[in-house]
């Protein structure tokens, strides 16, 4: 009898432990799900509000990048870290400027030598601005440089890769092209590697899409000094990655009736013709209390932002995908880069700005910041058409 009672007590304890464990797991799952932000993408097509730049921002300034015989920029990518501006050019050279636009140095040299890099098709910069990461898809290689231009390491990547983001000096997250050129990469999209290029983790995908030879146009990373997020458009979930390479859902893009149907992704040849019927090609720019959104529908740019206050998406009426600049009356604005907090950026070509000035496009604009207007006029009167681009810096409210 005593033995039976003991056995019953043991069984009861085990059952209770299982229930408690399941309860904890369910609670943790609910906490994860409750922390995921749902972005109502379909609302970008309705209830569009009339807004100007002064409604969301308090100041604007410009960084005219220095131009001389040795520093001519044709910019493919730019990254700002504190007082440093990193520029990757179309010829895959990389320049460093300060926050006033003064040229500091070229980072590394292209070439086959031991201290050189083969190319920089993509670039990341560490949050503190001390390390640069180049990735070259042609050779499936990654390179690490210090901010003073010294090559620290290079590593070979196992799978052909479409995009990458540096999570730390020893961890990188990659987007696989779903089997293109490497059939063993077919079951997953995201995977992580260490500083030597060794695969650390693969994240299996529930939906498999055979992209075929050379079609890599799926998936992207959006990086700020505060976060790394990535997504592929056919599952509508945007994931965050920590410095160790762990992945967690962060946003859900709710397209409603404007979602590209699953079957469209099974035929990449027709996807590009049919996608204009739906909301597609979404980009997110994270800031403190806001997420700026840009997407496309019927060949028109849609813009808006999610705001923490009210947990809702605000759709903005715009003919050209930008906000009217009524701060200093300069170029209109919508962010393309963010510092993850209160600053957002846009690149403007000197030629476009000079032509707009000569055409009188800035003369009719109203503005609310008199001192900033004077600084803008002074800058543009000194600007030449052949000068390097200018970075607009907007500080949010």
Q: In tens digits, what is the pLDDT along the chain, a chain of 397 residues? A: 545 544 544 445 444 444 444 444 443 333 344 589 999 999 999 989 999 999 999 999 999 999 998 899 999 999 999 999 999 999 999 999 999 999 999 999 999 888 899 999 999 999 999 999 999 888 889 999 999 999 999 999 888 787 899 999 899 999 876 545 566 666 678 899 999 999 999 988 766 655 543 344 567 899 999 999 998 767 789 999 999 999 999 999 999 999 988 777 777 677 778 889 999 989 999 999 999 999 999 999 999 999 998 899 999 999 999 999 999 999 999 999 999 999 999 999 999 999 999 999 999 899 999 999 999 999 999 999 999 999 999 999 9
Q: In this structure, what DSSP letter does residue 351 have? A: H
335: in domain? yes
Amino acid 208: pLDDT: 60
DSSP three-state, residue 73: coil
Bridge pairing between strands 247-254 and 37-40: parallel
Q: Is the Cα dihedral 172, 129, 72, 388 positive or negative?
A: positive
CATH number for the domain that contains residue 63: 2.120.10.30
- 248 Cβ contact partners less than 8 Å away, ≥ 6 residues apart: 32, 239, 240, 242
What are the percentages of helix, strand and coil residues in the chain, rounded to 5?
A: 20, 40, 40
At 181 the pLDDT is: 55
- Name the residue among 344, 330, 332, 334 with its Cα closest to residue 380: 330
Instruction: Provide Rg for the chain, Cα atoms.
Output: 24
The number of folded domains in the chain is 1
Domain that residue 269 falls in: 41-396
Residue 147 domain flag: yes
- What's the pLDDT at 214? 37
> What pLDDT, on a 0 to 100 scale, did the predictor assign at position 207?
64
Give the CA distances from residue 64 to residues 211, 337, 387, in Å, rounded to whole numbers and listed in that order: 41, 16, 9
Cβ-based burial of 251 (10 A; exposed 0-12, middle 13-18, buried ≥19): buried
Q: What are phi and psi of 168, to 5 degrees?
A: -165, 180
Q: How many CB atoms lie within 10 A of CB 373?
A: 18
Phi first, then psi, for residue 377 (nearest 5°) are -60, -40
pLDDT value at residue 184: 65
Is 5 a member of any domain?
no
Under a CB-based contact definition with an 8 Å cutoff, are residues 366 and 26 in contact?
no
- 11 found inside a domain: no
Using alpha carbons, select from 312, 272, 305, 271 the residue that is nearest to residue 290. 305
Helices (H), 230-349: 262-265, 268-274
- Cα–Cα distance for residue pair 48/179, rounded to 1 Å: 41
Q: Answer yes or no: is 18 within a domain.
A: no
Please tell me the predicted confidence (pLDDT) of residue 19: 44
Alpha-carbon distance 157 to 136, whole Å? 10
Residue 124 phi/psi, 5-degree rounding, is -130, 155
| Strand pairing category for 57-64 and 37-40 | unpaired
pLDDT at residue 180 in the model: 56
Instruction: Please state whether beta strands 94-98 and 103-106 pair in parallel, antiparallel, or not at all (unpaired).
Output: antiparallel
The verdict on residue 34 lying in a domain is: no
Residue-level pLDDT at 99: 96
Alpha helices per DSSP H over the chain: 2-35, 262-265, 268-274, 350-358, 370-382
Q: Where are the beta strands (DSSP E) in 130-219?
A: 131-136, 141-146, 151-156, 163-168, 171-175, 188-194, 199-204
Return phi, psi of residue 363, to 5°.
-75, -30
pLDDT of residue 209: 57
Ramachandran assignment for 51, one of left (phi > 0), alpha (psi -120 to 50 degrees), beta (any other): beta
Residue 376 covered by a domain: yes
Cα 393 to Cα 80, 99, 100, 182, 383: the distances in Å are 10, 10, 11, 42, 17
In a domain, 7, yes or no: no
């Amino acid at each position: 009898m005593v033995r039976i009672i003991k056995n019953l007590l043991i069984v009861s304890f085990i059952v209770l432990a299982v229930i408690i464990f399941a309860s904890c797991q369910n609670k943790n799952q609910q906490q994860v799900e409750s922390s995921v932000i749902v972005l109502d993408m379909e609302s970008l097509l309705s209830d569009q509000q009339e807004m100007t730049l002064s409604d969301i921002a308090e100041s604007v300034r410009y960084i005219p990048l220095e131009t001389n015989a040795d520093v001519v920029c044709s910019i493919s990518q730019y990254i700002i870290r504190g007082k440093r501006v990193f520029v990757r050019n179309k010829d895959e050279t990389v320049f460093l400027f300060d926050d006033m636009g003064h040229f500091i140095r070229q980072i590394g040299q292209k070439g086959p030598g031991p201290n050189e890099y083969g190319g920089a098709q993509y670039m990341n910069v560490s949050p503190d601005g001390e390390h640069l990461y180049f990735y070259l898809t042609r050779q499936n290689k990654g390179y690490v440089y210090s901010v003073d231009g010294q090559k620290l390491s290079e590593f070979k990547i196992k799978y052909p890769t479409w995009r990458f983001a540096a999570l730390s000096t020893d961890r990188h997250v990659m987007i696989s092209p779903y089997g293109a050129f490497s059939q063993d990469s077919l079951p997953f999209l995201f995977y992580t590697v260490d500083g030597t290029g060794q695969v650390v983790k693969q994240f299996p995908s529930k939906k498999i899409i055979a992209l075929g030879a050379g079609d890599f146009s799926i998936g992207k990373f959006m990086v700020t000094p505060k976060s790394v997020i990535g997504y592929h458009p056919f599952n509508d979930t945007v994931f965050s990655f920590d410095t160790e390479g762990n992945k967690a859902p962060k946003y859900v893009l709710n397209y409603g009736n404007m979602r590209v149907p699953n079957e469209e992704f099974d035929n990449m040849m027709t996807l590009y013709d049919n996608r204009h019927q739906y909301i597609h090609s979404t980009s997110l720019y994270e800031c403190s209390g806001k997420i700026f959104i840009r997407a496309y529908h019927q060949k028109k740019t849609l813009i808006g932002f999610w705001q923490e206050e009210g947990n809702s998406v605000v759709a903005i009426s715009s003919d050209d995908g930008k906000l009217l600049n009524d701060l200093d009356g300069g170029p209109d604005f919508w962010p393309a880069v963010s510092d993850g907090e209160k600053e957002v950026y846009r690149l403007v070509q000197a030629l476009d700005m000079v032509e707009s000035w000569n055409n009188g496009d800035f003369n009719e604009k109203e503005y609310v910041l008199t001192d900033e207007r004077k600084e803008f006029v002074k800058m543009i009167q000194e600007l030449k058409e052949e000068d390097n681009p200018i970075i607009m810096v907007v500080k949010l409210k």
